[in-house]
Amino acid sequence: MTQQLVIYPLLLQLFLSIILMFSWSKISWQRVISIGGGFINIAISIWLFVYIWNEGIQTVQAGNWAAPFGITFVADSLSVTLVLLTAISGLAVSAFSASSIVVARLKFGYFPIFHFLLLGLNGAFLTGDIFNLYVWFEIIIISSFVLITLGGEKAQLEGAVKYFTMNILASMIFLTAIAVLYGLTGSLNMADLSLKVAAIENRGLVEITAILFLVAFGIKAAVFPLYFWLPASYHTPPSAVSAIFGGLLTKVGVYALIRIFTLIFVGDVFLQDTILVMAVLTLISGGLGALIQNNLRKVFSYLIICHIGYMIVGLGLYTEVAIAGTIFYLIHDIVVKTNLFMVGGLIYRITGTNNIRSLGGLYKEYPLISLLIAIPLFSLVGIPPLSGFWPKISLITAAFTAENWWVIGAILFASLLTMIIIAKVWANVVWKDKVELPKRLNFRYFDKMTNIRKTQLVAPIIFLSLISLYIGFGAEHVQQLSTRVANELIDNQQYIDAVFKTGQNIKP
Amino acid sequence: MKTIILKTASTYLLPVLLLFSIFILLRGHYLPGGGFVGGLIASIAYVLHAFANGLSNTKNLLKFHPGFLMPVGLALAFLSGMAPLLFDMPFMTGLWYPEALPVLGVIGSALFFDIGVYLVVIGVTLTIIFTIADTI
């Protein structure tokens, strides 16, 4: 049973999608299946997490073909952490979408596609084969195309075209890079590639291949010169969709960058400097971009870009402390960003708009909800002891050790920008006097909803806020986890050994 | 299109093409072919029938919405992948029935996976084409 545990999260999501497709027109069933499945998914992910924590890296050879010939699924600490976070965000978003997405959209298969998206995310985190990673990326982007266009509003289609174009381009570059890498080494298994790439003498060619990967994943992760598609498209779909996009999709790009640049292309000074420059520029430009926006979800979109910078910084510094900071930030960011977009959706349901200027008076009307919203907002800024504070310590320490003052400056500057932006959002949305807006016809306002629907909107936000609080107050545990992940990533021999010691799994 | 030649031909071509698609499906394990190509050929059979006899007639012939084939095919492929787990082997390991059957040859879990693909491809293709044909 436990031997195959690594792929259970994948199988569960596939199973859920199939069941949901069978109940295509029964929306009320779909809601129940999706939320119930979310709970089972969390249970399985915790089981997997605990198992990996105790037993070390585990692998499954799909189809019983031994590595490096078959497709290997590898669960190391980084993968299982991300699978667990996917499960947590997935549950929150499926509960949130059960109430916030209109039935007309749900009827066109929102939930099955949503679970296909989660399948793709889990697959990307667990696979140990670079071509298989490409396939999971395809599953992710195909599902996200459907989710982003579902409903077919004009603004949505405009956003979708940009999103589609950039992602297809990224996939093409990714595929080209895989082809070049396969030509160089004759292998696709990442552990095998790690050994073979290190042995290649033509370093120039290796560097160019690495740059191709950097561009491909850079587009997906939305780093500095390649991010412009993100703010153009993330505010167009319903907030539940933006929540899962903002929380997890860009992080898959970051995950792929971390995986590739700690396992396959290691120890190249030129690459690390490039990554650092990109990271610093991402931090600054994302923050400055957010400063001038007035649409709440556009502000959050720019903040995604800004905070991707923190994760890439750690990768560029490439020390154990820096990588631990990156991982901690990744954990914190997935939870908080998912939550922020849901908060945006909740505010939209309450007031009917997302424009900061016409919002206001939330504290007078809903004091408890305002306090709830404060948790993700201030976690994002990183006011100690909330969750955003701790990873920055690791990152600044690492930059200080490397005597890289530019990086420290950028980290602090981006934190300052984030604080100004969040203060602006807080003052405008919560504290400012209420602006009287004309009531929209045919719009389901929050106060007109039934209690179950209200709970489905607020409970996921409470749930993720609690997790944020845990990350902040239980920072010791998360730091321990991040250090362990960083240790595994730096000492990548553990990963390679785990992939190749699979003799006991294979039966004649 | 109302030509009597196409109409008559399509009536005979439909079963022939369907049989051919199954032949391609079964042939696919070691030779060119397989579920994907087989599914495309099968959907071509229905598209041709729709050309000659009108969409509503083809829909009557099918009796159910082709989209229903998607979850059915996916479920079949999923189960064929899950089957090895019962024997404590990794996901998608090929299980083979030891003796060859007449006509079909040796049968394994891979065949059911391919049948799943076949059904999904028919479902997707026909749903897309019928929807486009409906809206024109």
The pLDDT tens digits for A405-464 are 999 999 999 999 999 999 999 998 888 888 777 777 777 788 888 888 888 899 999 999
Binned at pLDDT 50, 70 and 90, residue B79 comes out as very high
10 Å CB burial of residue A335 (0-12, 13-18, 19+) is buried
In this predicted model, what pLDDT tens digit does every residue of A342-364 receive, in sequence order?
999 999 888 888 888 888 888 88
- Bridge partners for A58 per DSSP: A75
Question: Can you tell me the distance from the alpha carbon of B23 to that of B16, in angstroms, rounded to the nearest whole number?
Answer: 10
Residue of A nearest to B110 (CA): A63
Please check whether residue A255 is in contact with residue A82, taking contact to mean a CB–CB distance below 8 angstroms: yes
Contacts of B67 in chain A (CB under 8 A): 24
E-state strands within A42-189: 58-61, 72-75
| Mean pLDDT, range A465-493, rounded to an integer | 93
| pLDDT score at A505 | 45
E-state strands within A81-123: none
In this predicted model, what pLDDT tens digit does every residue of B6-26 receive, in sequence order?
889 988 999 999 999 999 999
Please check whether residue A180 is in contact with residue A212, taking contact to mean a CB–CB distance below 8 angstroms: yes
Which range in A170-179, A350-359, B22-31, B44-53 is most confidently predicted, on average pLDDT? A170-179
Domain ranges of chain A: 2-504
Range A138-142, long-range pairs (CB < 8 A, 24+ positions):
A138/A171, A140/A249, A140/A252, A141/A167, A141/A168, A141/A171, A142/A116
User: What is the DSSP secondary-structure string of A303-344?
Assistant: HHHHHHHHHHHHHHH-SHHHHHHHHHHHHHHHHHHHHHHHHH
Question: Can you tell me the distance from the alpha carbon of A162 to that of B34, in angstroms, rounded to the nearest whole number?
Answer: 36
Interface test with B, best of A6, A12, A17, A18 (most B CBs within 10 A): A18
Tokens 């920072």 belong to which residue? A475
Would you say residue A123 has pLDDT above 80? yes
Question: Can you tell me the distance from the alpha carbon of A52 to that of A44, in angstroms, rounded to the nearest whole number?
Answer: 12
User: What is the DSSP secondary-structure string of A153-211?
Assistant: -HHHHHHHHHHHHHHHHHHHHHHHHHHHHHHHHS--BHHHHHHHHHH-S-HHHHHHHHH
Interface residues of A toward B, Cβ cutoff 8 Å, are 3-4, 7, 11, 14-15, 17-18, 21-22, 24, 60-64, 505, 507
Please state whether the predicted TM-score (pTM) of the whole model is above 0.90: yes
CA distance A336 to chain B (A): 34
Instruction: Tell whether B96 lies on the interface with A, counting CB pairs under 8 A.
Output: no
Interface test with B, best of A6, A8, A14 (most B CBs within 10 A): A14
CA A70 centroid distance within chain: 28
| pLDDT score at A508 | 38
| pLDDT score at A1 | 59
| pLDDT score at B36 | 94
The mean predicted confidence, pLDDT, of chain A is 90
Residue of A nearest to B69 (CA): A22
What the block records as the tokens of A149 is 């266009």
Interface contact flag, B91 A7, Cβ < 8 Å: yes
Question: Can you tell me the distance from the alpha carbon of A180 to that of A156, in angstroms, rounded to the nearest whole number?
Answer: 36
Instruction: Tell whether B88 lies on the interface with A, counting CB pairs under 8 A.
Output: yes
Contacts of A21 in chain B (CB under 8 A): 70-71, 74
Interface contact flag, A505 B90, Cβ < 8 Å: yes
Interface contact flag, B90 A62, Cβ < 8 Å: yes
Residue A109 φ/ψ, nearest 5 degrees:
80, 40
Question: Can you tell me the distance from the alpha carbon of A214 to that of A177, in angstroms, rounded to the nearest whole number?
Answer: 10
Question: Can you tell me the distance from the alpha carbon of A263 to that of A265, in angstroms, rounded to the nearest whole number?
Answer: 6
Strand, helix or coil at B96?
strand
Stretch among A266-270, A334-338, A480-484, B118-122 having the lowest mean pLDDT? A266-270
| pLDDT score at A445 | 83
CA distances from B11 to A83, A284, A330, B40, B66 (A): 52, 67, 60, 18, 20
- Per-residue b or e along A383-410, where b marks 16 or more CB atoms closer than 10 Å to that residue's CB: eeebbbbbbbbbbbbbbeebebeebbeb
| pLDDT score at A409 | 93
Please check whether residue A240 is in contact with residue A100, taking contact to mean a CB–CB distance below 8 angstroms: yes
Please check whether residue A77 is in contact with residue A58, taking contact to mean a CB–CB distance below 8 angstroms: no
Would you say residue A507 has pLDDT above 50? no
- Per-residue b or e along A185-218, where b marks 16 or more CB atoms closer than 10 Å to that residue's CB: bebbbbbbbbbbbeeeeeeeebeebbbbbbbbbb
What the block records as the tokens of A213 is 């990967």
| pLDDT score at B1 | 60
Taking alpha carbons only, the member of A242, A129, A247, A145 closest to residue A192 is A129
CA distance A65 to chain B (A): 8
| pLDDT score at A502 | 54
In this predicted model, what pLDDT tens digit does every residue of A299-344 receive, in sequence order?
999 999 999 999 999 999 999 999 999 999 999 999 999 999 999 9
Interface contact flag, B78 A22, Cβ < 8 Å: no
CA distances from A489 to A257, A408, A483 (A): 12, 23, 10
Other CB atoms within 10 A of residue A269 CB: 8
Taking alpha carbons only, the member of A41, A125, A93 closest to residue A344 is A93
CA distance A48 to chain B (A): 16
Contacts of B94 in chain A (CB under 8 A): 63-64
CA distance B12 to chain A (A): 33
Read off the amino acid at residue B52.
Answer: A
Distant-in-sequence, close-in-space partners of B97: CB < 8 Å, separation ≥ 6: B106, B107, B108
